[in-house]
Amino acid sequence: MKNKKKLIFANLKMNLNSNSLNKLIDDFLAKELSFEDVDVIFAPPVIYLNEIRKKNKNKNFMLAAQNVFYEDSGAYTGEISPLMLRDVGCEWVMIGHSERRIHTLETNEMINKKIISSSKHNLNIIFCVGESYEERRNGKTYEVISDQLKRGLRDINEKQLRNIVIGYEPVWVIGSGEAANLKDIDEVHTFIDKQLNIMYPESSIEPKIVYGGSVNNNNISDIMKIQNVDGVLVGNASLDTNKFCDIVITVGNLND
């Protein structure tokens, strides 16, 4: 069973600085948005997590890291562990974003280790999957996504699914300004839902599936009407407070 809460992630990627990020969060808080059935999750660059957490006195949003390492501590220069994320009050972590798969050569095996470790430390996980343009053109979309799901979730049991959300992000659509068409989103979300049922036949927990890729204040309403879309991952549009708040308001009002 899924609860009806919708999730809106602001993936700020490697953008902003201390000043502009603080302003963005202040502007968001000033709008005093609060919808019972919507959770907003900001994913700033990890170095700013702590200072943003301090601004969040009334728990208007949650925090996500954009990445994590799979060991708890030790000689892993430059890495951040799930325990450290917990330590600074971060509740969520993004794992397997295509930009990490592409630019830092993150493999399904590394992603799997990160999911296992983050789950052990009770972080909520947004596990991203998605096909490249080439893969879609060659009719490999379902094969690729099924493989990413199986290898990413290897050794994850039914109970651990409780803290996992799947993010579907078709790679070529990210940052393009144009979201995938609604039929494709619908088909892939339905496929992911079925795939999870096959992988976890006994599970009463159905992970939420959120869509990412050029979501903005104009297309949000149509995207959220798709049956298996439980929320969105917003990149570019989350850097503009007005656009982002419009997205939150639209999703909040859809649940009325």
Q: Which of 91, 97, 99, 189 is catalytic?
A: 97
| Nearer to ligand 13P (CB atom), residue 155 or residue 175 | 175
Cβ-contact 166, 192 below 8 angstroms: yes
Cβ-based burial of 227 (10 A; exposed 0-12, middle 13-18, buried ≥19): exposed
| Nearer to ligand 13P (CB atom), residue 1 or residue 24 | 24
Does residue 218 touch ligand 13P according to CB under 6 A? no
| Nearer to ligand 13P (CB atom), residue 32 or residue 244 | 244
CA distances from 132 to 95, 169, 174 (A): 17, 9, 10
- Tell me the number of residues near ligand 13P by CB under 6 A: 14
Residues 26-55 that bind ligand 13P (CB under 6 A): none
Q: Measured between alpha carbons, how far is 140 from 135 in angstroms, rounded to an integer?
A: 5
Is residue 121 part of the annotated active site? The answer reads: no
Write the CB contacts of 209 (distance below 8 Å, at least 6 apart in sequence): 165, 166, 167, 168, 189, 192, 193, 228, 229, 230
Does residue 217 touch ligand 13P according to CB under 6 A? no
CA distances from 80 to 88, 166, 173, 190 (A): 11, 22, 29, 34
Of 169, 210, 211, 217, the residue at the interface with ligand 13P (CB under 6 A) is 169
Taking the complex as a whole, the smallest distance from the CB of residue 96 to ligand 13P amounts, in Å, to 11
Is residue 103 part of the annotated active site? The answer reads: no
Which amino acid, one-letter code, is at 88?
A: V
Q: Measured between alpha carbons, how far is 25 from 47 in angstroms, rounded to an integer?
A: 15
| Nearer to ligand 13P (CB atom), residue 82 or residue 231 | 231
Helix axes 141-152, 108-120, angle to 10 degrees: 40
Residues across the chain: 256
Backbone angles phi, psi at 139, to 5 degrees: 70, 30
Residues 221-250 that bind ligand 13P (CB under 6 A): 233-237
Task: List the x/- string, 68-107, binding to ligand 13P by CB under 6 A.
Answer: -----------------------------x----------
* DSSP character at residue 181: P
Does residue 215 touch ligand 13P according to CB under 6 A? yes
Of 130, 207, 213, 252, the residue at the interface with ligand 13P (CB under 6 A) is 213
Taking the complex as a whole, the smallest distance from the CB of residue 209 to ligand 13P amounts, in Å, to 14
- DSSP β-bridge partners for residue 40: 8
Of 174, 196, 209, 224, the residue at the interface with ligand 13P (CB under 6 A) is 174
Q: Which stretch binds ligand 13P (CB under 6 A): 14-22, 51-59, 69-77, 213-221?
A: 213-221
Residues making contact with ligand 13P (CB under 6 A) = 11, 97, 169, 174-175, 212-215, 233-237
